[in-house]
Chains A and B, each alone.
Chain A
Amino acid sequence: MAITVSRPKLNWRERAYLPAILSGMAITIKHFRNMLFGRTKVTMQYPEEKWDNQMPEHYRGAPALVRDDTGRVRCVACQLCEFICPPRAIKIIPGEFAAGDRFAKVEKFPQEFDIDMIRCIYCGLCEEVCPEQAIYLRKDYAITGFTRADMVHNKEKLLEIGGVMHGVVLKWNEKK
């Protein structure tokens, strides 16, 4: 169905065009003058200059896995992040702790945990859905690589970015 768009009615001043051109020129000249006297803030010289120390607390950068104070990878491979992930960037292969392991009471851990950073959209749903406080969006934003494989963060890489998270609930310690 065709839609007819009505054209605005222009008055004589607008039809002359010249006043609009002149007012635009006035703004340009204002900026030029400010530049000349060093009153305009110029572009940040990335990557020599960075704004890392000015990033807000809630900044959503690369997702990463964390360990807790006991040294355990907090993830228990419940795969809720894999389920919630809108671009399906996460792939987890669960494993079971051997009977004599220090963390055997937790029973389950991620054998493999891959996040495809080409797919990741930094939405933070994985952090939000995690029932174990195991995955956090860190402030790393410059994720680069030479190949597609480079851009897949495996468990080691994710733990390297994530580091240790202090002061989180240690609910599994209460278990037998």
Chain B
Amino acid sequence: MSDQVSAPPQMVNVQINGVWHEFPKGTRVIEACEKAGSYVPRYCYHKKLSSPGNCRMCLIEMGLPKMGPDRKPELGPDGKPLINWMPRPQISCAQDVSEGMGVRTDSPLAVECRKGVMEFLLINHPLDCPICDQAGECRLQEFSVEYGSAESRFLENKVKKPKNIELGPRVTLDDERCILCSRCIRFCQEVAQDDVLGFVDRGSHSVLTAHPGKRLENNYSLNTVDICPVGALTSSDFRFQMRVWFLKETKSFCTSCATGCNTIIGTREDVIYRQTPRENDAVNSCWMCDYGRLNFGYLQSEKRLLQPEILSGDKLIPAEWSVAITHAAVQLKHFSGWEIAILASGRMTNEELWLTSQLAKTLGVESIDIVPRHGPADNILLSADRNPNTNGARLLGVTSQPGARLPEIVQGVASGRIKALVALGENPIEIGLTVAQITALPAFIAMNILANDSTPAATALLPSFGFAEKRGSMINGKGRLQRLNRAVRGPGQARDDWEILRDLIQACSGRNGIYSIEDVFRQMSESVPQFAGLSLSKIGDLGVQILENAGSPA
């Protein structure tokens, strides 16, 4: 690593399929081939893990420069070194490039050898693709098309191995499908730092299993399902739920902690079926934690708020959006800024936080803060700050020290100074208020996704969207601006949070010239220097670093 900083990497010349390329020294041959445009099939090799070289699928033909009697490479008519081809194929995953090396990825020898490897792998592999969850994204299926044979020459009985084993609370194993690539074992050793998996027994009877008395239950266990090239490891949560070819994939990021791991949300007909990590070397490499990955069920929960409601007499009744917004605005305008408190959330996007600060400015509110959330950090990916956008809330002036103003708000409600409370995606009971105190407030405007103990006390209830239902941006714990994309439509009458806030500001102060979320971002980028020159589309799929040395989460 350090020599990369001090000096440019030394480049070596490599001939791949007859064309000379330059690669930095230390590049794996398999990576060099991929960069040169010829993908070498592989099962055991994963670029973020060590190379054991045990699947033998990435065989290539390789050669080194022909040396003359003077120990100098002999040059051909084109001035390039002549290559001494090795008689037998080599694996490309455990070999680094060297000066004058020659590689043939699709020579008859290499292709014939891969066909042989494929035949061996398929000897004991069950033909249960119709029920296998991996079907459609299975490497074995894909390479069978290129290197497999339509008919098996194997007449004997296939080896029977254990099926449908619970390796851990979230992972189910089918040993018959396993091709013994050891990716999952290496992942647990090298990334999750929880060495629980291993192979036992020999030869054809070799099986993957957990260490006796242990289970695959670390918080990163589901990554083994992602990297499993076949359907041996399956997610117990996603198992048999939906075939992968139906899933619409939306690039997004995880909002369960301040790390903001990049994800792909798999949906079909407005139902989320799974979340998988998306490679971003600046954030999460190829991984994400199980906690964040499975934290989407609440969007399809029974407790979703579906209809705006207003307090009429002594009970909440369903209302049109325009009525609910006007109702809320009238209540807010009735009080002075001193009598209003806004409870914002570190789970809101930058756009929503910006509009929240505009709303606070319009009403003259000083008592505004977000609710901090903490949990144990694990030094891998999971951050101690469980709010995805604390940095955004700081940058946009919604809070300076998350949670610092909360005691003041609680005190204000208790003493009767605060007469109107606006809770945006937060439950005021969590900061220490009681249901009785909230019910006693003359105005309690609640915008939220799910119903909670405080929602029956609302004077205006505004159902909003979850992270997969809206667009927007957030700043992660390391100061990287990332973008949420809409994967599903929101349920019922629920509305996008920024629209609700925009309408609320308009109802309080008249027109504000915001018609789309791009308008919100434009206004924000005009006032906040860190966003200057950016737009939602310019953030891109991998995000933009906008804060240097962002403070560690409070």
Inter-chain contact B246/A79, CB cutoff 8 Å: yes
* Chain A residues, Cβ within 8 Å of B128: 107, 175
Q: How many residues of A contact B (CB 8 A)?
A: 20
**Bound-complex Cα distance A63 to B158 (A):** 34
- Any chain A CB within 8 A of the CB of B489? no
- Any chain A CB within 8 A of the CB of B298? no
> B204 CB to closest chain A CB, in angstroms?
15
**Bound-complex Cα distance A67 to B164 (A):** 25
* Chain B residues, Cβ within 8 Å of A76: 130-131
**Bound-complex Cα distance A55 to B3 (A):** 80
- Any chain A CB within 8 A of the CB of B160? yes
Inter-chain contact B130/A175, CB cutoff 8 Å: no
**Bound-complex Cα distance A132 to B240 (A):** 17
Inter-chain contact B246/A108, CB cutoff 8 Å: no
Residue interface bits A6-45, CB-to-B below 8 A is 1, else 0 = 0000000000000000000000000000000000000000
**Bound-complex Cα distance A175 to B159 (A):** 10
Q: If A83-B246, A96-B240, A108-B240 touch, does A78 touch B130 (CB 8 Å cutoff)? A: yes
Inter-chain contact B131/A176, CB cutoff 8 Å: no
- Any chain B CB within 8 A of the CB of A164? no
Q: If A107-B164, A176-B160, A176-B163 touch, does A80 touch B240 (CB 8 Å cutoff)? A: no
Residue interface bits B479-515, CB-to-A below 8 A is 1, else 0 = 0000000000000000000000000000000000000
Inter-chain contact A175/B126, CB cutoff 8 Å: yes
> A143 CB to closest chain B CB, in angstroms?
26
List which B224-276 residues lie within 8 A (CB) of chain A: 239-241, 243, 245-246
* Chain B residues, Cβ within 8 Å of A94: 240-241
Closest A-chain residue to B135, C-beta based?
A78
A interface secondary structure, majority: mixed
- Any chain B CB within 8 A of the CB of A95? yes
Closest A-chain residue to B163, C-beta based?
A176
- Any chain A CB within 8 A of the CB of B532? no
Inter-chain contact B245/A108, CB cutoff 8 Å: no
- Any chain A CB within 8 A of the CB of B129? yes
Q: If A79-B246, A95-B240 touch, does A108 touch B131 (CB 8 Å cutoff)? A: yes
Q: Indicate which residue in A82, A106, A107, A131 contacts B129 across the interface (CB closer than 8 Å).
A: A131
- Any chain B CB within 8 A of the CB of A171? yes
Inter-chain contact A83/B245, CB cutoff 8 Å: yes
Q: If A175-B126, A176-B160 touch, does A79 touch B243 (CB 8 Å cutoff)? A: yes
- Any chain A CB within 8 A of the CB of B127? yes
Interface centre among B130, B163, B239, B245 (most CB of A within 10 A): B130
| 5 CB < 8 A contacts A-B | A78-B129, A79-B246, A94-B241, A105-B163, A176-B160
Besides A106-B131, A108-B131, 15 more A-B contacts (Cβ < 8 Å) are: A76-B130, A78-B131, A78-B135, A80-B130, A82-B246, A83-B245, A94-B241, A95-B240, A107-B128, A107-B131, A107-B164, A131-B129, A131-B130, A174-B158, A175-B126
